[in-house]
C-alpha cells in the first residue's frame, strides 16, 4: 500500500463541513421562525420522514424532538405508502427530509397529506424542488459541496440537515422553558434520570433504620448502635428526635488519641454537636455534592429551619441508587 496522509484527508472533511455549516446560518430566517411557531402550537406530534441517509438523520431528529419536549416519531416513507400513514393524524405536522427534494416515496404521500390538511414542512436544498413547492414551510439546507471528493456520498448535506434539526429542537426547548428535570422524565432508565429525579426522601434511612441514641447513653452503647445499623455513625437526639449531635467512626479513631475511658465515657462528652443536614425534598445529586464538598459520608435529614431528625442519608445509599 502506498503511503497516504489520512490525517490531512480527515482534516479536509472537517474544513469542508465546517464551511457548509457556516453557510447554513443564513437559512435560520423567517421560514425557520414559522416552522418553530407551527411546531410549538401543534396539538399532535411531529412526524419525521426521510429516505436513505436522510432517513437515518430523520430518526435522530425525531429522537431529539421527543426527548426535549416535542412529541415526535419517525415514519418510513415506503412503509407509510403501505399502511403506516394511518399513524399520522390531522393534528400532526410532517417534517419531510430530502436533499434533492425529489424523493419519490415522499412525493407519493403528498397528495394524501394535502387531502388530510396536514401541515408539511420540508427540508431540501432548494425551494424550487417538487417537495419545496408542495411544502407549507420550506427549510433550506443547501451547502456549497459535499465532503466526498466524488460529490456523491451525502456528507456535508446530512450534517447540515442534522444541525438544522438540532436548531429546531433546541429553539423549541428554550421557548417551552424545558428544564433538566423535564429532560430526565423522558430518560428514567439512565444515569441522568437517577440523578435528577431521585430526592433525598426516596433514599434516606428512616424510623427504626436510623442509628440513634440519647445523650445519656454511654460511648459503648453508641458503638453497639453504630455496629447494629451499619451506617458508620449514630445520631444523638432526644425522644422527640431533636438533634443534639453526631458520632462517627472517624470520631472514634480520634478519641483513641485522647486517652478516654471507652467503658465509662458518656456519648455526650465525645459527640460532635449539631451535624450537617439537608432537607428531604432536595435532589439526591444535591446531597452528593454536599457530601463531597464537606468530605463526609452521611447527612442528617431535617425539615427546613428545624433540628428535628427525619432520617439519615449515607453515601452507600447514593451508590446503590446509581446517583454517584
Q: What is the pLDDT of residues 174-218, one digit of tens each?
A: 999 987 777 766 666 666 666 667 889 999 999 999 999 999 998
Do 72 and 60 contact (CB within 8 A), yes or no? no
Summarize pLDDT for 43-55 with one digit per residue, the tens: 999 999 999 999 9
Predicted TM-score of the model (pTM): 0.68
Question: What is the separation, in whole angstroms, between the first and last Cα of the chain?
Answer: 49
Look up residue 25 and give its three cell numbers.
446560518
Q: Is the Cβ–Cβ distance between 280 and 294 less than 8 Å?
A: no
Q: Does position 41 have pLDDT exceeding 80, yes or no?
A: yes
Q: Which domains does the chain have, with CATH numbers?
A: 6-178 (3.40.50.10490), 200-320 (3.10.580.10)
Residue in 45, 50, 135, 58 with CA at minimum distance from that of residue 92: 45
Phi and psi torsions of 248, nearest 5°: -125, 170
pLDDT of residue 193: 65
pLDDT of res. 1: 56
* Spatial separation of the C-alpha atoms in residues 173 and 182, rounded to whole Å: 10
Question: What is the per-residue burial (b if ≥16 Cβ within 10 Å, else e) of 265-276?
Answer: bebbebbeeebe
Amino acid at each position: 500500500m502506498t503511503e497516504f496522509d489520512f490525517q490531512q484527508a480527515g482534516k479536509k472533511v472537517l474544513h469542508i463541513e465546517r464551511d457548509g455549516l457556516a453557510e447554513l446560518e443564513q437559512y435560520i430566517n423567517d421560514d425557520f421562525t414559522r416552522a418553530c411557531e407551527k411546531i410549538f402550537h401543534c396539538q399532535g406530534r411531529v412526524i419525521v420522514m426521510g429516505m436513505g441517509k436522510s432517513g437515518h438523520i430523520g430518526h435522530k431528529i425525531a429522537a431529539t424532538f421527543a426527548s426535549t419536549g416535542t412529541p415526535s416519531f419517525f415514519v418510513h416513507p415506503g412503509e407509510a405508502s403501505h399502511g403506516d400513514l394511518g399513524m399520522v393524524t390531522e393534528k400532526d405536522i410532517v417534517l419531510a427530509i430530502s436533499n434533492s427534494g425529489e424523493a419519490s416515496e415522499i412525493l407519493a404521500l403528498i397528495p394524501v397529506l394535502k387531502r388530510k390538511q396536514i401541515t408539511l414542512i420540508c427540508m431540501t436544498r432548494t425551494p424550487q424542488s417538487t417537495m419545496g413547492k408542495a411544502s407549507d414551510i420550506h427549510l433550506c439546507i443547501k451547502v456549497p459541496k459535499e465532503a466526498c471528493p466524488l460529490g456523491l456520498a451525502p456528507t456535508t448535506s446530512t450534517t447540515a440537515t442534522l444541525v438544522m434539526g438540532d436548531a429546531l429542537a433546541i429553539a423549541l426547548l428554550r421557548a417551552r422553558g424545558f428544564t433538566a428535570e423535564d429532560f430526565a422524565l423522558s430518560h428514567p432508565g439512565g444515569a441522568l434520570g437517577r440523578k435528577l429525579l431521585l430526592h433525598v426522601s426516596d433514599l434516606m434511612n428512616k424510623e427504626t433504620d436510623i442509628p440513634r441514641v440519647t445523650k445519656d447513653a454511654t460511648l459503648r452503647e453508641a458503638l453497639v448502635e453504630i455496629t447494629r445499623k451499619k451506617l458508620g455513625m449514630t445520631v444523638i437526639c432526644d425522644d422527640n428526635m431533636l438533634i443534639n449531635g453526631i458520632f462517627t467512626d472517624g470520631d472514634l479513631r480520634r478519641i483513641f488519641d485522647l486517652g478516654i475511658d471507652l467503658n465509662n465515657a458518656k456519648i455526650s462528652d465525645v459527640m460532635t454537636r449539631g451535624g450537617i443536614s439537608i432537607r428531604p425534598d432536595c435532589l439526591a445529586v444535591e446531597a452528593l455534592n454536599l457530601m463531597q464538598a464537606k468530605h463526609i459520608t452521611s447527612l442528617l435529614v431535617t425539615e427546613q429551619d428545624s433540628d428535628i431528625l427525619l432520617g439519615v442519608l449515607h453515601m452507600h445509599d447514593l451508590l446503590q441508587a446509581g446517583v454517584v
